[in-house]
Chain A
Amino acid sequence: MLILTFSQMQFMLLFSRQGKLRLQKWYVPLSDKERKKISRDLVQTILARKPKMCSFLEWRDLKIVYKRYASLYFCCAVEDQDNELITLEIIHRYVELLDKYFGSVCELDIIFNFEKAYFILDEFLLGGEPQETSKKNVLKAIEQADLLQEVKLCFHL
Chain B
Amino acid sequence: MPAVSKGDGMRGLAVFISDIRNCKSKEAEIKRINKELANIRSKFKGDKALDGYSKKKYVCKLLFIFLLGHDIDFGHMEAVNLLSSNKYTEKQIGYLFISVLVNSNSELIRLINNAIKNDLSSRNPTFMCLALHCIANVGSREMAEAFAGEIPRILVAGDTMDSVKQSAALCLLRLYKTSPDLVMMGEWTSRVVHLLNDQHMIVSSASTDLQDYTYYFVPAPWLSCKLLRLLQCYPPPEDGAVKGRLVECLETILNKAQEPPKSKKVQHSNAKNAILFEAISLIIHYDSEPNLLVRACNQLGQFLQHRETNLRYLALESMCTLASSEFSHEAVKTHIETVINALKTERDVSVRQRAADLLYAMCDRSNAKQIVAEMLSYLETADYSIREEMVLKVAILAEKYAVDYSWYVDTILNLIRIAGDYVSEEVWYRVIQIVINRDDVQGYAAKTVFEALQAPACHENMVKVGGYILGEFGNLIAGDPRSSPLVQFNLLHSKFHLCSVPTRALLLSAYIKFINLFPETKATIQEVLRCDSQIRNSDVELQQRAVEYLKLSSIASTDVLATVLEEMPPFPERESSILAKLKKKKGPGAVSVTELEDNKREGGELNGASERGPEMAAVAASNASTPSPSADLLGIRSAAPIGGALTSAGSLLVDVFSEAAPTASSAAVNDDGFLSAAPSSEDPAAPLSDADELLNKYGGALQNLTLKLPVTINKFFQPTEMTSHDFFQRWKQLSQPQQEAQKIFKANNSMDTEVLKAKMYRLTLRCSKDSVSKRLCDLLAEQF
Q: Do A and B come from one complex?
A: yes
Interface residues of A (CB under 8 A from B): 1-8, 20-32, 35-36, 50, 52-58, 61, 80, 83-86, 88-90, 92-93, 102-104, 106, 108-109, 111-116, 118-119, 122, 126-137, 141, 145-146, 148-150, 152-153, 156
- Which of the residues A3, A8, A52, A116 comes within 8 Å of B347, measured between beta carbons? A52
CB of B212 within 8 A of CB of A127, answer no
Identify A53's interface contact among B92, B176, B267, B347, CB under 8 A: B347
Chain B residues with CB below 8 A from A137, complex form: 212
- Tell me the nearest residue of chain B to A7, going by C-beta: B229
Task: Judge whether B167 is part of the interface by a CB distance below 8 angstroms.
Answer: yes
Task: List 19 additional contacts besides A56-B350, A86-B222, A149-B8; criterion CB under 8 Å.
Answer: A1-B233, A6-B230, A29-B138, A54-B313, A55-B309, A58-B350, A88-B310, A89-B215, A93-B215, A112-B5, A115-B96, A126-B167, A126-B171, A126-B174, A128-B174, A135-B212, A146-B6, A150-B8, A153-B7
Among A29, A114, A122, A133, contact of B223 (Cβ-Cβ < 8 Å):
A133
26 examples of A-B residue contacts, CB within 8 angstroms: A1-B180, A6-B226, A21-B67, A24-B100, A26-B137, A28-B178, A32-B101, A32-B102, A56-B314, A61-B587, A84-B277, A85-B273, A86-B222, A86-B278, A89-B267, A102-B3, A112-B4, A126-B171, A129-B170, A131-B167, A133-B220, A134-B213, A148-B89, A149-B7, A152-B87, A153-B8
Cβ of B40 within 8 Å of any chain A Cβ, yes or no, is: no
What residues of chain A lie closer than 8 Å to B174, measured between beta carbons?
A: 27, 126-128
B551 at the A/B interface (Cβ < 8 Å)?
no
When the two chains form their complex, are residues A24 and B233 in contact, meaning their CB atoms are under 8 A apart?
A: no
A113 CA / B312 CA spacing, docked (Å): 38
B688 CB → nearest A CB, Å: 67
Task: Point out the residue from B88, B171, B208, B347 that lies within 8 Å of A145, measured CB to CB.
Answer: B88
Q: How far is the CA of A1 from the CA of B212 in the complex (A)?
A: 31
Instruction: Note all chain B residues with C-beta closer than 8 A to A134.
Output: 202, 208, 212-213
- Distance in angstroms from B5 CB to nearest chain A CB is 5
What's the count of A-B pairs with C-beta under 8 Å? 208
Q: 3 tightest CB-CB pairs across the interface, nearest first?
A: A85-B274, A127-B174, A127-B136
Q: Does B166 contact A (CB under 8 A)?
A: yes
* Interface residues on chain B, number (Cβ under 8 Å): 83
Closest to A118 in B: B96
Contact B63 A115 (CB under 8 A): yes
Contact A83 to B277, CB < 8 A, known contacts A109-B2, A109-B3, A149-B88: yes
Find chain B residues with CB under 8 A from A89 CB.
215, 221-222, 267, 270-271, 274
Asked if B512 is at the interface of the complex by the 8 Å CB criterion, the answer is: no
Chain B interface, >50% SS class: helix
Q: Which of A3, A29, A61 contacts B139 (CB 8 A)?
A: A29
**B141 contacts across to A, CB distance below 8 A:** 29
Contacts of B278 in A (CB 8 A): 83, 86
> Do residues A84 and B314 form an inter-chain contact, with CB atoms below 8 A?
yes
Tell me how far the C-beta of B350 lies from the nearest C-beta in chain A, rounded to whole angstroms: 5
Known: A83-B277, A115-B60. A56 touches B313 (CB 8 A): yes
Task: Write out, one digit per residue, whether chain B residues 260-281 have a CB within 8 A of any chain A CB (1) or not (0).
Answer: 0000000100110110011000
Which residues of B are in contact with A by a Cβ distance under 8 Å?
Answer: 1-8, 14, 17, 21, 53, 60, 63-64, 67-69, 87-89, 92-93, 96, 100-102, 104, 126, 132-133, 136-141, 163, 166-167, 170-171, 173-174, 176-178, 180, 202, 208, 212-213, 215, 220-223, 225-226, 229-230, 232-234, 267, 270-271, 273-274, 277-278, 309-310, 312-314, 347-348, 350-351, 353, 587, 589
**Chain A contacts of B5 at CB under 8 A?**
112-113, 116
Pair A52/B166 contact, Cβ less than 8 Å: no
B3 to chain A minimum Cβ distance, whole angstroms, is 6
Residues of A within 8 A of B351 (CB): 54
Q: Which of B87, B173, B270 contacts A85 (CB 8 A)?
A: B270
Query: In the docked arrangement, what's the CA distance between A93 and B212, Å?
Result: 13
Known interface pairs A54-B313, A109-B1, A114-B67; A126-B137 also in contact (CB < 8 Å): yes
Find out whether the CB atom of A25 lies under 8 angstroms from the CB atom of B137: yes
How far is B273's CA from A23's CA once the two chains are assembled, in angstroms?
29
Are B230 and A2 closer than 8 Å at their CB atoms? yes
A77 to B732 CA separation, bound complex (whole angstroms) = 90
A29 and B96 contact, Cβ closer than 8 Å, known pairs A85-B270, A102-B3: no
Contact A56 B310 (CB under 8 A): yes
CA distance A91 to B176 in the complex (A): 25
User: Which residues from B are CB-within-8-Å of A92?
Assistant: 267, 270
Whether the pair A130, B137 counts as a contact (CB closer than 8 A) is no
Q: Which residue of A lies closest to B143 (CB)?
A: A29
In whole angstroms, what is the CA distance A29 to B101 when docked?
11
User: A5's contact among B87, B171, B232, by CB below 8 Å, is which?
Assistant: B232
CA–CA, A23 and B99, complex, Å: 13
Cα distance A108–B2 in the bound complex, in angstroms: 5
Do A126 and B7 form a contact, CB below 8 Å, given A8-B177, A55-B310?
Answer: no
B93 vs chain A, min Cβ distance (A): 6
What residues of chain B lie closer than 8 Å to A127, measured between beta carbons?
Answer: 136-137, 139, 170-171, 173-174
Distance to closest chain A CB from B680 (angstroms): 55
User: Within the complex, which residue of A28, A80, A149 is in contact with B89, where a contact is CB–CB below 8 Å?
Assistant: A149
CB <8 Å contact, B347 and A133: no
Measured CB to CB, the closest approach of chain B to A7, in angstroms, equals 7
- Give chain A residues whose Cβ lies under 8 Å from the Cβ of B101: 32
**Contacting residues, chain A, for B93 (C-beta < 8 A):** 115
Write the chain A residue with the least CB distance to B200.
A133
With a CB–CB cut-off of 8 A, which chain A residues contact B166?
Answer: 126, 131-132
Instruction: List residues of chain B with CB within 8 A of the CB of A129.
Output: 170, 173
The answer on a CB contact under 8 Å between B170 and A126 is yes
Give Cα A122 to B163, complex, Å.
13
State in angstroms the CA–CA spacing of A116 and B96 once bound together: 10
Give the chain A neighbours of B53 by CB distance below 8 A. 156
